[in-house]
Chains A and B, each alone.
Chain A
Amino acid sequence: MTVYKASHIVPIRSGKDERSRVERNDEWVRVERTSAFKELMRKKKAFILPAMIFFFVFYFTLPFLTAFTTVLNATAFGPISWAYVYAFAQFVMTWGLAYAYIGQANKWDDLVDDARREAAQGSAEGSRA
């Protein structure tokens, strides 16, 4: 009984003959070369790379400052130290970045559909030629 949705993978079969493997690879390359896929990857990189760098720096600054200095021990307001303010800011950062990501990623889904259509068109034209 098969219950997989479309996104479930087709397992690799070893021993598939060389030609069908090369043909199948052409299909992947066709998707890879579509302008929609290239735009998808460009947008992904433009978001994820700076986001990861920002978040690692922001995250590790807290343990670094508390492990080697006492600057965060100063009072921010009332009994609350800057260390706790920074710690709570990490929660805000996590939710902020998560929503920024999901806002972008939901737009990327359309590019995936475009890439699929574009590759299909290319493949249809290829076989007519």
Chain B
Amino acid sequence: MSTTDITAFAFFILIIAITLAITYWAAKRNTDTSHHYVAGGEITSWQNGLAISGDYLSAASFLGIAGAIALEGFSGFYLSIGFLVAFLVVLLLVAEPLRNLGKYTVGDVLTARFNARGVRSASALNTLAISMFYMIAQLIGAGALISLLLPISFNLAVIIVGVLMTVYVVAGGMVATTWIQITKAVLLILGSIGLSIAVLAQFGFNPVALFAAVESEVGREAIVPAPPGGLVPGLDTISLNIALVLGTAGLPHILIRFLTVPDAKAARRSIIVATWVIGGFYLLTPILGYGATLLVGRDTIAQQDPGGNLAAPLLAEALGGPIFLAFISAVAFATIVAVVAGLVIAASSAFAHDFYTNVIRHGEASEQEQFKAARYTSAGIAITAIILALLLQGANVAFLVALAFAVAASANVPVILLLIFWKGFNTAGAIAGMLTGLISSVGLVVLSPTILGDAAIFPLTSPAIVSVPLGFLACYLGTKLGGKSAEREMREGRQTSYDEIYVRANTGISNIEQEIRESAPETGQRTS
């Protein structure tokens, strides 16, 4: 084993030791379902902002975007913009109502209004599908990265990450996951700032000089958008951007983070923290990407990994030798295990809380049974993801993440928005919207050039431009054509009155009788 390997091993072991210590500490607090799913709702807005950043800045961000900018130039930067701007949709439309309506899962938010097992099941299905695509992508990325950096095989690397995430989640629940996200976010920020400073030091600390060097050495096409390619590629770009900007508002592992804070105000503040951290990181991506283009070279990057995923680690090696390489690789490793742990929580809570507790057991499972189900399901989900990742080894990571965003934008976003804003929405509309969004987004990808190549039936690689409108349309048609009107569902107790949803989503008042009594003036105590 070379000294590089020993340094890399040392950093990896250090990261594993830190995260296991956090899990050990958290396991003592992980004593009930509320702590397991949402850390008891006791996370502060600062902590949650960092944890959202940790959940959000996946391997696709850290490794993928740097690589895309290094190899393709400007078009790689779209991902940075879309991933950040998406937080405005979350902040302005969904975060606070979600915090006000939800308890543990996205399914809870939907059943705050619809008293139907079908709604909960459809929502659990969507969460499982989205989280699974995302998780497989992260695991494949982890396997590829670690097997390139350390002398271990892809399969072993996937299994190591998989076992670690299972331990974090099963033992430490959301408390451990949150603190691992925070640790990882801080490491990632330090790592990317360190890399950027080292790159800029080569160019007199002048970012413009970096761009000028790219222009003179690689050519102007590296720093301007690719020339328009006609209608189909143009629509594909727009479609990808729709998925990016709307998808975040439908990603279960991000949405459940708003349920870990005590109130809507904390949810709001945590997004501000997250947009600074995430935006700050994305602002650095051109420095990392172009730095790798100049200091490592496009050929070398593509030779190591055609997807460009090793651009950032290779840049670290070029700038700071084996120790810096080992540090950046360890940061990438921490990034992946943390994101995967967050996804396991989201997927397993959809299964254990929505499906097992509320659909199969009709909400009558005891606290002890629920807690046990949550832990067993976490282990089950993790093992399933490991097996799928091993089977799908060759799959393209960026493709799977883009698919997760497209499904989230099509299957979850229409139903969440209409639930909050449309008085006439009914059970049939909600179920139709969720299933249509899921089936059309996955279906269109199956029919796209990504899967079928030249025989593609659907010409675009990104389905959102069609599947998002279809999701909304199905919500509308389902409501108008199927089932009973919202009014009748309310009278029959199948739907919470929209008055309640409307007031609760916008004010955070939850226990109406009690809160009104508490804020009543002394003389006005109700006596009846």
The answer to whether B92 and A121 have CB atoms under 8 Å apart is no
The answer to whether A124 and B265 have CB atoms under 8 Å apart is no
The answer to whether B524 and A40 have CB atoms under 8 Å apart is no
Name the A residues within 8 Å of B215 (CB-CB): 79
Name the B residues within 8 Å of A101 (CB-CB): 91-92
Q: Size of chain A's interface in residues, with CB distance under 8 A?
A: 81
The answer to whether B512 and A31 have CB atoms under 8 Å apart is yes
Q: Mark B218-231, 1 if CB is under 8 A from A, else 0.
A: 00100111111000
The answer to whether B499 and A25 have CB atoms under 8 Å apart is yes
Q: Which one, A67, A94, A97, contacts B237 given CB within 8 A?
A: A67
Q: Which one, B245, B515, B520, contacts A124 given CB within 8 A?
A: B520
- Give A94 to B101 CA distance when docked, in angstroms: 26
| B268 in the interface (beta carbon within 8 A) | yes
A111–chain B nearest beta-carbon distance, Å: 9
When C-beta atoms are compared, the residue in chain A nearest to B276 turns out to be A95
Name the A residues within 8 Å of B226 (CB-CB): 66
Name the B residues within 8 Å of A46 (CB-CB): none
A22–chain B nearest beta-carbon distance, Å: 9
From B40, B115, B503, name the one whose CB has the most chain A CB atoms within 10 angstroms: B503
Name the A residues within 8 Å of B107 (CB-CB): none
Size category, B interface? 35 or more
B216–chain A nearest beta-carbon distance, Å: 8
- Known: A59-B85, A109-B265, A127-B528. Contact between A79 and B208, CB under 8 A? yes
Q: Which one, B84, B234, B496, B528, contacts A90 given CB within 8 A?
A: B84
| B14 in the interface (beta carbon within 8 A) | no
Q: Which one, B74, B103, B499, contacts A32 given CB within 8 A?
A: B499
- Known: A12-B496, A72-B225, A91-B282. Contact between A27 and B512, CB under 8 A? yes
Name the B residues within 8 Å of A12 (CB-CB): 111-112, 115, 496
Name the B residues within 8 Å of A60 (CB-CB): 238, 241
Question: Which residues in window 1-29 of A have CB below 8 A to B?
Answer: 1-12, 14-16, 18, 21, 24-25, 27-29
Name the A residues within 8 Å of B223 (CB-CB): 79-81, 84
| B34 in the interface (beta carbon within 8 A) | yes
The answer to whether B512 and A24 have CB atoms under 8 Å apart is yes
A47–chain B nearest beta-carbon distance, Å: 9
- Give A24 to B88 CA distance when docked, in angstroms: 34
- Give A3 to B268 CA distance when docked, in angstroms: 21
The answer to whether B85 and A94 have CB atoms under 8 Å apart is yes
- Give A71 to B511 CA distance when docked, in angstroms: 56
Name the A residues within 8 Å of B112 (CB-CB): 9, 12
| B526 in the interface (beta carbon within 8 A) | yes
Question: Which residues in window 235-258 of B have CB below 8 A to A?
Answer: 235, 237-238, 240-241, 245
B259–chain A nearest beta-carbon distance, Å: 9
- Give A104 to B73 CA distance when docked, in angstroms: 38
| B363 in the interface (beta carbon within 8 A) | yes
Q: Mark A72-96, 1 if CB is under 8 A from B, else 0.
A: 1100011111011001101101110
Q: Which one, A29, A72, A90, A123, contacts B526 given CB within 8 A?
A: A123
The answer to whether B234 and A95 have CB atoms under 8 Å apart is no
When C-beta atoms are compared, the residue in chain B nearest to A116 turns out to be B519
- Known: A79-B215, A98-B275, A124-B520. Contact between A62 and B81, CB under 8 A? yes
- Give A42 to B440 CA distance when docked, in angstroms: 36
Q: Mark B484-528, 1 if CB is under 8 A from A, else 0.
A: 000000000100110110111011111111011111110111111
When C-beta atoms are compared, the residue in chain B nearest to A3 turns out to be B40
The answer to whether A63 and B512 have CB atoms under 8 Å apart is no
Task: Give 7 closest A-B pairs by Cβ, nearest first.
Answer: A124-B524, A120-B520, A67-B234, A66-B225, A67-B237, A79-B211, A73-B224
7 A–B pairs (Cβ distance < 8 Å), ordered by A: A56-B245, A63-B237, A81-B223, A91-B283, A98-B91, A121-B520, A124-B526
